[in-house]
Structure 1
Amino acid sequence: MRKNFSVLSLGLAVIFAVNTPGYAQKKTTVVKKTTTAVAKKVDGDLIPNDPNVKIGKLSNGLTYYIKKNTEPKKRAELYLATRIGSLMEDDNQQGLAHFTEHMAFNGTKDFPKNEMINYLQKAGIRFGADLNAYTSFDHTVYQLPIPTDSSALFKNGFKILANWAGKIIMEGVEIDKERGVIVEEDRERGKNAQDRMSKQLLPLLLKGSRYADRLPIGKIDILNTFTHDKIRNFYKDWYRPNLQAVIAVGDFDVNEVEQLIKANFSGLTNPANPRPRPSYDLPDNKAPLVKIITDPEQQYNVAQIMYKQRGNTTKTAADYKKSIMYNMINSMLGARMQEIMQKENAPFLQGQSGYGAYQGGLVPNINAFQSAAVSKTGATLEKAFTAVLAENERMNKYGFMQSELDVAKKNIAAGNDVRLKEKDKIQSATLVKRYLNNFLTGSIIPSTEVSYELTKKALADISLDQVNALAKTLITKENQIIIVQAPEKEKANLPTEAQLLAALKNAGNNITAYVDNTVDKPLLDKKPVAGKVVAEKKFDKIGVTELTLSNGIKVLLKPTDFKNDQIVFTSFSKGGTSLATDANFKSAEMVSLIPQSGVGAFNPTQLNKLMAGKTGTGGSYVSDLYQGYGGSSTPKDLETAFQMVYTYATNPRKDVELFNKSISDYKVSLENKNSNPESVFSDTVQAVLSSYHKRAMPTTLADLDKISLDEAYNFYKDRFADNSEQTFVIVGNFNIESIKPLLETYIASLPALNKKQNFVDNGINSPKGKVSKTVYKGLEDKAEVQLYIHGDYNYDAQTNIQLNALKAALENKILERLREKESGVYSPRVGLSVAKYPTAHYYFTISFSCATANVEKLIAAALDEVDQIKNNGATVDDISKFKSEEQRQVELSLRDNSFWLNYLTNRLKYGDDLDQILDIKQRLNSVTVETSKATAKKYLNEDNYIRLVLMPQK
């Protein structure tokens, strides 16, 4: 049930962009004049835009980008981008850029009320998952993935974009209904330690700039009280074609799309006296800025330093080469930090340094070299901070080694080769974001071929001296910002401002040059004794071949052309940690630390260096019911991936130092865990759902003291001593005859004892009957609600499709009721999980966050919707939406390697018919209003009902 314990994600949790659905503009007029803008080379240095992208501009100033792309087939990505965000708001409009985005989904001229969403859902486009939008400081973006195999639907996609661009109605009643939704969005995303600390940090991070006063979410008092004219004026002033772009990428005719853009957008006009669009900057600071913040719910002691720098948009080959050198520096410095973190006496729990956009691209053309350190206690934070600074100074003083640069170059070159080979398989969603960045920031959009040649040339030209010279520019004497975030209880132990500045000044004392600990030997000393393919079976309907190997292993092969340079694989056999005894279960749960420690003679750092430039990777896993292998590769490096599988099976690494470090780090994460309300609530959910079974309870500090490396290692070896019942699934661009010799060498040679194995049902089941539990933890007016309706059932494809249809219908009803009607939540979620083993069981979940005063009202409303769907079934519209969405998703999935990998694996695990996917249309057609009603009555029975609520402490 769990255990991934990276200590934390470093970084400041400041919400700079707000995702939601909603936004629009007013009309504008245009005449038609189109241009195809392609950047020209200047002195052979300016990087040209991809000539296959049609870039034009209407006479009203609206820009457009059009690119034909056939991945995925019969699909297109349509974006409307506006260079307008919260920075353009007047003082009494704070939050209305984001509010406008919401209103785009609440009624336009051609799509009143919620007709737009209904229309698109019936066409198979999912609200939120597909149809969406977001608002940032200086831009707002609407995204509409749409099928192209329906001419009417595709044409209406541009009509929808034009409605967002200039035809939002802004009805007063809809504005007032949306206020509560946005207030709840602020509550859901914030009202926690990160939010409170961020509000203290913003005046420092954005000191002297307009950014500090214009968070996209706005001010709650303004959101609750602004008069309707304020948002209408914002829309009228700023939503205009000379600040907008239409981006269309997909499987269509470029000339037709250009005419659709002209037809839909040429009628939009700019205001007679347009307000100038201002741009804002972030001022420099001569002296270091320092801020120390504590909070009762903060879990870790974190110190950060930022060196702000002016940046430029990449335009030339020289800029491009410089960006690659920055990537190399980040990679090499990151590898050094990882190496330190693997040591038992490491001075920090986590440390990282890197150069990039300041605070994730918060302010255009402001970059920063940023470093962070996490310590066990406040008293050790100064030491941890100093250690990270020392690594920066080691880089600054001694530079990197040629061996490190060689590793970085090999990895970049390997990625460059893959991108070139996949040039005709790039997803439209990837391309549309490149063109979006070009419109918003002026970033280059070279063709794949040009990028490949630029990278190849840069790698040949870049020298160690050049990289080390650039590294020396990262640590600056000005524009320094130091931040400490820590638990309230550590306040008295934290370093002072003077101590932090002294650490910054003295970090380079007594440092020596880095020593490379590369192990110079191959992964395998010699190839294993090969086995044989002894049987072959075809599943022609789905293009799958099954091989049986001489050691008993079965391999299912599905060659595809979905990617030119990708192969993915996984395997499984029964057992997992379910076979551990109660006495050694906690050690067995930590079995993941064995493969995480490297393999054979190589620790993780050494293994990464050995694999430099290789695209093949393989590994092992042990879950609760299964153990097996997995990996991915390009065709040329598949042997490497299989070699890694063989090595993880036959030569696992027992590393005392790494194991002790991992356990020590885990203890730190548990020591402060209970200060975080969501962690406490999550532990409660885990305990309740497992009926407090001892094998499913959250790990405690006492548990960690019982964990034995020897027990974990021996359990790992036992699980992989017999591979005779492993089943491999391999999907991707390979030839069956060509792959057989590799399978015989590395998979047919895996050790096999030919024993019959199974997993054990240890009785970890959810409680029967009605259960209610409320956790009181937290400082803010914020509640979390999770409702479960569950039970045992017969697992089969027909039942599951009916359950999925019911889930989709209930999700629509909960969204309409709790968000649209009650205005009490932002993003309510309805989930369905089903499992066949160890016992077949289903869970329906309804979850949301809300104000504490609304908990009972909203739970009652949610359960009322459950009752209504039990009494009446789903509506015809809801069933139509479900069928369309499912069919569209299946169409996409059938050309995806990962889908087939998971599909085949699950069918094999559950003993299902492998051809099951071919009958999906018939199963979809079997869903009706009556079947949904019958399914709801049977499976939404509240006899087994769990209510879990997190409330602020009393």
Structure 2
Amino acid sequence: MNFNKTLSVATLAFLVACGSANAQVKRKPTPSPKNKPNAAAAVAPANVLPVDKDVLIGKLPNGLTYYIRHNGQPQNRAELYLVNKAGSILETDAQQGLAHFTEHMAFNGTRDFPKNALVDYLQKSGVKFGADLNAYTSFDETVYQLPLPTDSVAVFEKGFDILANWAGYVSFDPAEIDKERGVVLEEARLRGKNAQERLSLQTLPVLLNNSRYASRLPVGKEEILKNFTPATIKSFYADWYRPNLQAVIAVGDFDVKRVEALIKANFSGLKNPAAPKPRPDYTVAPTPGTVVKIATDKEFPYTLAQIVVKHPHIVVRTTTTYMQSVRTSLFNFMLNQRLAELQQKPEPPFLYARTSYAPLIGKQDAFSSVVVSKPDGLETAVKAVVAETERLRKFGFTLTELERAKQSSLVGIQNAFYEKDKTNSANYVREYQLNFLSGDAIPGIDFEYNFYVNNISKVTLAEMNALAGQFISDQNRVIIVEGPEKDKDKLPDEKTILNWIGTAGNNLTAYVDNVTSKPLMEKEPEGSKVLSEAKDDAIGTTSLTLANGVKVILKPTEFKNDQILINGYSFGGTSLASDDDYTSASFAGTIVGSSGISEFNQGQLDKMLADKNVNISPYINEISQGIRGSSSPRDFETALQLVYLYFTKPRKDADIWKGTMNQTKALLANRGLDPQSVYQDTLSAVLSNNNFRYGATTVERLNGANLDKAFDFYKDRFADASGFTFVIVGNFNPELIKPFLETYLGALPATNKKETYKNLKMHPAAGQINKTVYKGIVDKATVQMIYSGDYVFNEANNLQMDALEEVLNIKLIERLREQESGIYAPGVRASYSKNPEGRYSVTIVFTCAAANVDKLVAATLDEINKIKQTGALPADIEKFAAEEARSTQVQLKQNISWSGYLIATAQNGLNPDEILSHVKNLDQITVQSTKETANKYLNNSNLAKVILMPEKK
């Protein structure tokens, strides 16, 4: 149950992901030609956007709305959603937090599914709690998601009964309410009780102008969550969970008419209250002029500024407003391209910057800029971002920028159009959800594509340049500055920051668009032919060996129309770098991947590729180096050209190196303020047996790093392609692409060095390890328990480990969450590897109150001991087998899954055909096998416990 939906004036995820204030809001997507437009009003304008003919929209006599669409992707699956126009904004003073609590109670007992029966039934049907079965609560809505198989008629049809139970028949058993109080409070602890939450509580009242939104955060109030009566939450449910505020959305591989009948049968009996309360429509009042808020926190490691200019929200209902949304998307793209160029300077003026015009909240849009500065560099950062918006307002965009943005947008809409019969059902659900909640139109991809292609050329430079004047203003503007408490005296006051913004536009010159007309490659290289070819008809692959030693595994698919995935590797990686050169080597892949290629810097390369659906980048990790990326079929040759150039003509950019070093040092400056970062350093030391390569770098090591060493290391790692294996998966004909493979991959350099990795033994030391880190000012503890040791890597052992992981997850949810009410959700991860040596680890992680650490660790060990003594319960094995079978069926229809699987089997020397017997092999999981696996791998004499506790007072 996730109430953690992000409200942010920019996409700065690493700053807001944990906040229980900023992170509560369901963020609407930025308008784009792929997902915008909106529904017709009762009296439609003449140019109203149409409704997609492939979606059946209806309304029951009780007012419940439904959306039904047949969609075959994924096959034999459906997405069922219940959408309620009821969120925390509707809570009374005594109900704060109960919209979210109501969502929790829907999984803890309904008329037809008492207590935990609903979750238990779905798990046995292959639906994984949390990953598949989930929900979220926001200010204005609560949404339940239920993905189900459709090849089981009984399970699929039962899904509509489940949705109806959520919609009108939640039990609110007082005993279950009391058990769930701790779970909800622990969810708040997990997602909040950190610097970002505390800063948000200071800044949101300013950003939201002390509106109701500022006082109705979905997380609620702790004292209410602890003490409310069942009658109080029942009152919220009775008032607002009613059919005239609800929608059922069903998209999937099913018969539409049968689904409509199921909705009518299950939901027609729901009734509205005899005297329903009017559903208030809350807004945020505009603020005259500019309001400035300076906020600090002891544990906040960054310094940042946000400039937010708020405007009335415009719902896109007509072709006119649709065209405006297209212009807005182009505007955002071009302005952020300029900011990205500033980031490539040797002395970047900021660590991060982003601007956008997008929906905010409370019927507001906002032109927002966010910038994260280096320590003591806020003035430079703010002025740099503001200067770009002012440059735009004074001089406008260039024609080449606009044409490039149009081409990039066309690529996006083309991809959506080409994939229209392969679009995932969840994508349609999101569109229909927005249509119900806010009126966003759903004209369908055919209309959008044709409209876009026919009208994009009509967007003029004058229209685009006028947008800056419309978006940028000093009215209804909020400026927020956040920073570490220790730097409070260094932060600007209101007068100073207004002066920075007011003077940032002085002495500006027009932007110069640095473009090139040169081709990516002047001529084709001399390639080499395919020497051997082997087909594997069982899984539909073809393996080629080229004359230079490069191996290529091809798997053509029809899962996506416009996608080809490319992944190539050879062994070696940074394990071959000396300790003295490691820091330089560790940056090699990132630096070269950010420096452009051949004679083109990164900015020029990005501009050259703007009209192509292609993305290729090199990487170097601990034991391998390689190339990964994707392209459309039409841009496949360009993708291979990039692969060839990253091998043969990598670019060394001193500016990128210097900028990366400066920014990395800046990020390290206040890292010690963040409890999680300090904890992570200790955890890394434990997991690597104190090998410095595994943890965060230091300024001292950065000072000793060298661009020449990094570049030489990169060239050395890519000097010999004879050991490379490439896996190519997607929509292609193997015979038609073979000449391209011979031309480009066949031309890669080969010296036949036959290198491999070194085993640096970066794993936990044997024996018991207990480490406690005391950092943090609030009552929040993090526990990690890591079992590890030697491992024989094979399909049979891997299957048993996967089963142990899920069984342990089920038992810890039942014990630590449901019985102890001590955590929100455990993380259980069983990992295993063959390279550089056979090793396994089973990691258990949870967040809780400091006083509960010992009790919950003991409870965890108790559950582990039960499995070791008696094995898993047959019911839990049944749940794992059902979930694994369902997920395998889905993954066998995904390019990304096949790409990862074929790379893994190649690296580990396994037979890829084993995937075909994976589901059948699930019967190898037995009570006895889980007992044996637990005893073998969950050995308390080889257990590391690393715990983060708040600072001692």
With normalisation by structure 2, the TM-score equals 0.96
Q: Is this contact kept in 2: 1:18–1:134, CA < 8 A?
A: no
Q: Which residue of 2 aligns with 1:484?
A: 481
Q: Which residue of 2 aligns with 1:559?
A: 556
| Post-superposition offset of 1:102 | 0.3
Which of the residues 490, 497, 502 maps onto 1:500? 497
Query: Secondary structure of the residue that 2:570 maps to in structure 1?
Result: strand
Which sits farther off after the overlay, 614-623 or 732-741?
614-623
Q: 1 CA distance for matches of 2:619 and 2:20?
A: 35
Which of the residues 730, 733, 736 maps onto 1:732? 730
Equivalent residues in 2 for 1:370-519 (5 A)?
370-378=368-376, 380-519=377-516
Q: Which residue of 1 aligns with 2:69?
A: 67
Query: Secondary structure of the residue that 1:631 maps to in structure 2?
Result: strand
The answer to whether the aligner puts 1:846 opposite 2:848 as a matched pair is no
Q: 2 CA distance for matches of 1:430 and 1:295?
A: 39
Q: What is the one-letter code of the residue matched to 1:814?
A: L
Q: 2 CA distance for matches of 1:563 and 1:586?
A: 40
| Post-superposition offset of 1:345 | 2.8
Cα deviations by residue, 1:885-944 (Å, 9 ceiling, x for unpaired): 000001000000010000010000000012110111232111111111111111111121
Structure 1 pair 599–9 and aligned structure 2 pair: CA distance change class (3 A): farther
Q: What is the one-letter code of the residue matched to 1:754?
A: N
Cα deviations by residue, 1:492-548 (Å, 9 ceiling, x for unpaired): 111111011112222221111101111331111221112111111011100000111
Q: Is this contact kept in 2: 1:241–1:270, CA < 8 A?
A: yes
Cα deviations by residue, 1:740-795 (Å, 9 ceiling, x for unpaired): 11001110000111221111112222110000000011110100000011111111
Equivalent residues in 2 for 1:577-596 (5 A)?
577-592=574-589, 593-596=591-594
Large movers: runs of 4+ above 6 Å: 37-41
Q: 2 CA distance for matches of 1:578 and 1:586?
A: 12
Q: Is this contact kept in 1: 2:40–2:441, CA < 8 A?
A: no
Which of the residues 944, 950, 953 maps onto 2:942? 944
RMSD: 1.6
Cα deviations by residue, 1:334-387 (Å, 9 ceiling, x for unpaired): 0111111111233222222111122xxx32x30111112222223x31222112
Q: 1 CA distance for matches of 2:645 and 2:47?
A: 47
Which sits farther off after the overlay, 592-601 or 795-804?
592-601
Cα deviations by residue, 1:850-882 (Å, 9 ceiling, x for unpaired): 111111011111111111110011000000000
Q: Which residue of 2 aligns with 1:529?
A: 526
Structure 1 pair 323–11 and aligned structure 2 pair: CA distance change class (3 A): farther
Cα deviations by residue, 1:188-222 (Å, 9 ceiling, x for unpaired): 11111101101111211112311111101110001
Q: Is this contact kept in 2: 1:616–1:639, CA < 8 A?
A: no
Q: Which residue of 2 aligns with 1:649?
A: 647
Which of the residues 788, 810, 814 maps onto 1:816? 814
Q: Which residue of 2 aligns with 1:252?
A: 254
Q: What is the one-letter code of the residue matched to 1:249?
A: V
Which sits farther off after the overlay, 902-911 or 471-480?
471-480
Structure 1 pair 14–388 and aligned structure 2 pair: CA distance change class (3 A): farther
Q: What is the one-letter code of the residue matched to 1:339?
A: E
| Post-superposition offset of 1:42 | 5.4
**How many residue pairs end up in the alignment?**
928
Q: Is this contact kept in 1: 2:300–2:673, CA < 8 A?
A: yes
Q: What is the one-letter code of the residue matched to 1:803?
A: M
Which of the residues 105, 114, 117 maps onto 1:115? 117
Q: Which residue of 2 aligns with 1:541?
A: 538
Q: Is this contact kept in 1: 2:389–2:468, CA < 8 A?
A: no
| Post-superposition offset of 1:259 | 0.5
Q: Which residue of 1 aligns with 2:365?
A: 367
Which of the residues 214, 217, 228 maps onto 2:216? 214
The answer to whether the aligner puts 1:913 opposite 2:911 as a matched pair is yes
Q: Which residue of 2 aligns with 1:32?
A: none
Q: 1 CA distance for matches of 2:823 and 2:560?
A: 41
| Post-superposition offset of 1:39 | 7.9
Q: Which residue of 2 aligns with 1:670?
A: 668
Q: 2 CA distance for matches of 1:131 and 1:783?
A: 27
Equivalent residues in 2 for 1:240-279 (5 A)?
240-279=242-281
Structure 1 pair 14–922 and aligned structure 2 pair: CA distance change class (3 A): closer
Structure 1 pair 448–266 and aligned structure 2 pair: CA distance change class (3 A): same
| Post-superposition offset of 1:696 | 2.7
Cα deviations by residue, 1:231-250 (Å, 9 ceiling, x for unpaired): 01111111110110100000
| Post-superposition offset of 1:19 | 10
Structure 1 pair 342–460 and aligned structure 2 pair: CA distance change class (3 A): same
Q: 1 CA distance for matches of 2:761 and 2:345?
A: 39
Q: Is this contact kept in 1: 2:22–2:204, CA < 8 A?
A: no
Query: Secondary structure of the residue that 2:761 maps to in structure 1?
Result: coil
Q: 2 CA distance for matches of 1:816 and 1:179?
A: 15
Query: Secondary structure of the residue that 1:231 maps to in structure 2?
Result: helix
Q: 2 CA distance for matches of 1:690 and 1:712?
A: 23
Structure 1 pair 66–650 and aligned structure 2 pair: CA distance change class (3 A): same
Which sits farther off after the overlay, 482-491 or 37-46?
37-46
| Post-superposition offset of 1:646 | 0.6
Q: Which residue of 1 aligns with 2:186?
A: 184
Which of the residues 340, 343, 350 maps onto 1:341? 343
Structure 1 pair 458–418 and aligned structure 2 pair: CA distance change class (3 A): same
Q: 2 CA distance for matches of 1:260 and 1:645?
A: 52
Equivalent residues in 2 for 1:306-345 (5 A)?
306-345=308-347
With normalisation by structure 1, the TM-score equals 0.96
Q: Is this contact kept in 2: 1:38–1:55, CA < 8 A?
A: no
| Post-superposition offset of 1:329 | 0.8
Q: Is this contact kept in 1: 2:20–2:188, CA < 8 A?
A: no
Q: Which residue of 2 aligns with 1:103?
A: 105
Structure 1 pair 55–770 and aligned structure 2 pair: CA distance change class (3 A): same
Q: Is this contact kept in 1: 2:347–2:658, CA < 8 A?
A: no
Equivalent residues in 2 for 1:517-916 (5 A)?
517-592=514-589, 593-916=591-914
Gaps of 5+ in 1: 1-5, 21-36
Cα deviations by residue, 1:125-175 (Å, 9 ceiling, x for unpaired): 000100011111111000000000111111100000000001111100001
Q: 2 CA distance for matches of 1:897 and 1:696?
A: 31
Q: 2 CA distance for matches of 1:665 and 1:493?
A: 20
Q: 2 CA distance for matches of 1:694 and 1:345?
A: 28
Which of the residues 289, 292, 311 maps onto 1:290? 292
Q: Is this contact kept in 2: 1:17–1:135, CA < 8 A?
A: no
Cα deviations by residue, 1:49-96 (Å, 9 ceiling, x for unpaired): 101110000000000000000001111000000000111111111111
Q: Is this contact kept in 2: 1:76–1:148, CA < 8 A?
A: yes
Q: Which residue of 2 aligns with 1:53?
A: 55
Q: Is this contact kept in 1: 2:874–2:927, CA < 8 A?
A: yes
Q: What is the one-letter code of the residue matched to 1:727?
A: T
Query: Secondary structure of the residue that 1:755 maps to in structure 2?
Result: coil
Query: Secondary structure of the residue that 1:740 maps to in structure 2?
Result: helix
Q: 1 CA distance for matches of 2:802 and 2:288?
A: 59
Q: Is this contact kept in 2: 1:17–1:134, CA < 8 A?
A: no
| Post-superposition offset of 1:14 | 5.5
Q: 1 CA distance for matches of 2:349 and 2:866?
A: 59
Counting aligned pairs with the same residue, the percent is: 50
Q: 2 CA distance for matches of 1:644 and 1:921?
A: 39
Q: Which residue of 2 aligns with 1:3?
A: none
Q: Is this contact kept in 2: 1:10–1:372, CA < 8 A?
A: no
Structure 1 pair 481–7 and aligned structure 2 pair: CA distance change class (3 A): closer
Query: Secondary structure of the residue that 2:379 maps to in structure 1?
Result: helix
Cα deviations by residue, 1:10-45 (Å, 9 ceiling, x for unpaired): 66946456599xxxxxxxxxxxxxxxx988995651
Q: Which residue of 2 aligns with 1:28?
A: none
Structure 1 pair 193–173 and aligned structure 2 pair: CA distance change class (3 A): same
Structure 1 pair 41–907 and aligned structure 2 pair: CA distance change class (3 A): farther
